[in-house]
Amino acid sequence: MGKKHVIETNQEELIKNQEKIDKSVGKEVKVKSSTAGVQEGKVYVSSSYNNTIVTLTNLRGNVLAWKSAGSVGFKGAKKATSFAASRVAEAIANICKKIGIEKIEVLIKGIGAGRESAVRTLVAQGLNVVSIKDVTPIPHNGCRQRKTRRV
- Domains delineated in the chain: 38-134 (3.30.420.80)
- Look at residue 48 in the predicted model and tell me its pLDDT: 93
User: Which amino acid does the sequence have at 36?
Assistant: A
Which residues, in sequence order, are CB contacts of 64 under 8 Å at separation 6+?
29, 35, 38, 41, 56, 57, 58, 95, 99
- Look at residue 46 in the predicted model and tell me its pLDDT: 95
- pLDDT-derived band at 143 (thresholds 50, 70, 90) equals confident
Half-sphere exposure of 140 toward its Cβ, with a 13 Å CA cutoff? 3
Tell whether the model's pLDDT for residue 4 goes beyond 70: no
Instruction: Provide φ and ψ at 127, rounded to 5°.
Output: -80, 145
Tell whether the model's pLDDT for residue 138 goes beyond 50: yes
What would the mean pLDDT of 46-54 be, rounded to a whole number? Answer: 94
